[in-house]
């Protein structure tokens, strides 16, 4: 397994609203459909954005276990990561301004299998949690700049 030596990487997605709440997401050469669940007036044509956030965290953890096991020479036969989170929809709908629209709590459960000792796997776990980019995004505020462009044909300004 070889790892890229580039220091800075830029990752990008393009997200186009199709119909109702269905969004076509382009990530490099990949296309996925994201949709709201029926409870939010969506058709459930794909995972919803918060499920994808949890999937990003779980898959980043799994990949980080593989990478750090390789870097540390640790044999790892199987990694399973389950992630769930609590979301209070009052925040999304603005029903109660004191409720944040994002997750209140997120839980990650990791199951590791292999021949190494518990001490070795605990040390691996510490490496993973220290270096997993998506876990870092969940745990720490990230500066986000949002720019809105208004196209032609959007109506008159009042």
Helices (H), the chain: 49-72, 89-92, 118-131, 133-139
Instruction: Please compute the mean of the pLDDT values over residues 102-114 and round it to a whole number.
Output: 97
Q: What average pLDDT is seen over the chain?
A: 94
Q: Given a cut of 80, is residue 2 above it in pLDDT? A: no
Residue 12 predicted with pLDDT over 60: yes
pLDDT of residue 67: 97
Cβ contacts of 16-24, under 8 Å, gap ≥ 24: 22/46
Q: What percentage of the chain reaches a pLDDT higher than 70?
A: 93
Q: How far apart are alpha carbons 43 and 20 in whole angstroms?
A: 8
- Predicted confidence (pLDDT) per residue in 20-51, tens digit: 999 999 999 999 999 999 989 999 999 999 99
Contact criterion met (CB below 8 Å) for 57 and 134: yes
State both tokens at 116: 């190494």
Is this prediction's pTM over 0.85?
Answer: yes
**Nearest CA among 89, 21, 25 for reference residue 52:** 25
Rg from Cα positions in the chain: 20
Question: Does residue 157 register a pLDDT over 70?
Answer: no
Mean pLDDT of 118-145: 97
Write down the domain spans for the chain: 7-47, 48-139
pLDDT number for residue 154: 62
- Quote the CATH superfamily of domain 48-139: K homology (KH) domain (3.30.300.20)
State the pLDDT at residue 4: 59
């Amino acid at each position: 397994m070889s790892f890229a030596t580039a220091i800075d990487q830029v990752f990008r997605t393009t997200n186009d609203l199709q119909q109702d709440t269905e969004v076509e997401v382009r990530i490099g050469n990949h296309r996925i459909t994201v949709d709201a669940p029926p409870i939010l007036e969506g058709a459930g044509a794909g995972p919803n954005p918060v499920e994808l956030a949890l999937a990003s965290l779980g898959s980043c953890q799994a990949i980080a276990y593989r990478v750090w096991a390789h870097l540390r020479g640790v044999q790892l036969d199987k990694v399973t990561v389950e992630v769930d989170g609590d979301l209070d929809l009052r925040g999304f709908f603005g029903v109660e301004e004191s409720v944040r629209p994002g997750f209140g709590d997120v839980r990650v459960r990791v199951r590791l299998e292999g021949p190494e000792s518990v001490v070795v796997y605990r040390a691996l776990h510490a490496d993973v949690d220290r270096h997993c980019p998506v876990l870092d995004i969940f745990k720490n505020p990230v500066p986000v700049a949002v720019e809105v462009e208004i196209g032609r044909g959007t109506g008159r300004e009042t």
